[in-house]
Structure 1
Amino acid sequence: MHLRDLAFQSKNRLTEKHKMSQSQSDAIEQRTVPRFTISPATENDLADVIKLFTLYAESLHIDLSFQSFTEELANLPGKYAPPTGQILLARREVTEPESLRSQRDSGRGIVDEINDPSSRERVAALTTVANGINGINGLIIPESIGCVAVRPISFSPPFDRGGPDVKRCEMKRLYTLPSTRGQGVGRELVREILDVAQELGYDEMYLDTLSTMTAALRMYEKYGFVRTEAYYHNPNEGVVFLVKKFGAV
């Protein structure tokens, strides 16, 4: 199974969300287009998926070896593959001047280090030309800023809850870059993956998080998740288990 199979065929999941900056000056300073999109990961997104999953794991400050995390990365999409799973990526569009500014600053650092006047002049000239071209074309570069995934789940003793006809799934790897926090990216990822789970025919969605992640807990509760008993063995302290039953009031 390849990552290109991750595109959910029954519905185009491309969703564009417009996010306005607090002020026009902030938008100019950040030099970003104030919107992001959410869509299924493809084979070409493998590097971005691995990067974001890794950042997610590092942000927890816990050992995920009990979840065979290394093997998960090596075998993507694994259990997240269609027709029973999916990985979603959030992307924002960054305007070319921001990219050129980073390259220019990097170029200046190299030039200063070697102290070559001719090289300095060349970098300045190339930057001027590139900025002029960008001003005409308005080039935009996509950047992956968040992720979330869904996979099927089944319970084994002593966590078996009966209901063999109940189709269950698990939300995994919800993460957004720190620079995008507070812009609604996480909320929209949750909303979208809930829609995906229902389209895949699941009756219940489970997840686990840490009690210290109070903002995440509030968000999950907003989307109808309630606390439940442990559904698998997690050796860490302060783990909160949640479930959402689709169709429940």
Structure 2
Amino acid sequence: MREVPQRLAVGEARWPQDRALVERLFRDYVAWAGGGLGDEDVDREVARLPGRYAPPHGCVLIAHAGPDPVGVAAYRRRRGGVCELKRMFVRPAFRGLRIAEALLAGLIETAAGAGYRSMVLELGGDMAVARELYDKAGFAADRRRAPARPGLVVLRRDLKPARTRVDAGAG
């Protein structure tokens, strides 16, 4: 496996300064993931950025290798102390450098610090590399929640208790 870039930096998106960059990375993710995500839903989501990804209930992390934005990952509040991981993406030229691991670790730490008790995500059943990443990070199949579409699996990970609490209202 290639080494993590020495100048890798993962940080929270700044609003409104990073809005265009986050939109571009989200659209790159959708183009890579294929047509199953629904163009109208994506258009609505990026038009409302930061929307449900705004702190304190959401978070968008951006990875930079030197000056280049190379990846993104986000979470948003669901309900009852649960957040949902969304839009995890590393640009193809930068894959295999453990950037996704850094993004995921940052999201888990941030969500736990915000008081979330668990994190969920939906994943295509054919995404073996991503599934391995999530398995290593402690995610497991969640049979209590049905996926939004056939062919997806729902994964869940408990988070460490945090000092602050997130409003458990509907998300």
Alignment length, in residue pairs?
158
> How far 1:90 moved relative to its partner?
0.2
SS of the residue 1:243 aligns to: strand
User: CA RMSD of the aligned region, Å?
Assistant: 2.0
Q: Distance in 1 between matches of 2:61 and 2:96?
A: 19
- Mark the CA change 1:79 to 1:245 in structure 2 (over 3 Å): closer, same or farther: same
Which residue of 38, 41, 47 maps to 1:74?
47
Are residues 194 and 37 of structure 1, via their aligned partners in 2, closer, same or farther at CA, if it must alter by over 3 Å?
A: same
Question: What TM-score do you get using the length of structure 2 for normalisation?
Answer: 0.85
Structure 1 position 238 matched with structure 2 position 163: no
Conservation of the 8 A alpha-carbon contact between 2:73 and 2:89: yes
Q: What is the match of residue 4 of structure 2?
A: 19
Deviation at 1:19, TM superposition (A): 3.2
Write the distance in 1 (CA, Å) between the matches of 2:57 and 2:46: 18
Contact kept, 8 Å, 2:71 with 2:88, in 1: the verdict is: yes
The 5 A counterparts of 1:160-179 are 166-179=80-93
Runs of 4+ aligned structure 1 residues displaced above 6 Å come to none
**Partner SS state of residue 97, structure 2:** coil
The match for 1:85 is: 58
Highest Rg: 1 or 2?
A: 1
In the alignment, the residues of structure 2 paired with residue 187 and residue 223 of structure 1 have an alpha-carbon distance, to the nearest angstrom, of 8
Q: Percent identity?
A: 30
Correspondence for 2:12: 40
Structure 2 CA distance for aligned equivalents of residues 200 and 151 of structure 1 = 11
1:63 partner SS: helix
Letter in structure 2 aligned against 1:200? A
Q: Which has the higher helix share?
A: 1
Match of 1:204 in 2: 118
* TM-score, normalised via structure 1 length: 0.59
Q: Which runs of 5+ in 1 are unaligned?
A: 1-17, 21-33, 94-141, 155-165
C-alpha displacement of 1:58:
1.1
- Worse-matched range after superposition: 65-74 or 75-84: 65-74
Cα deviation 1:182-226 (Å, max 9, x = unaligned): 001001000000000001000010000101110100110111100
Give the CA deviation at 1:35.
2.3
CA apart distance, 1:63:
2.7
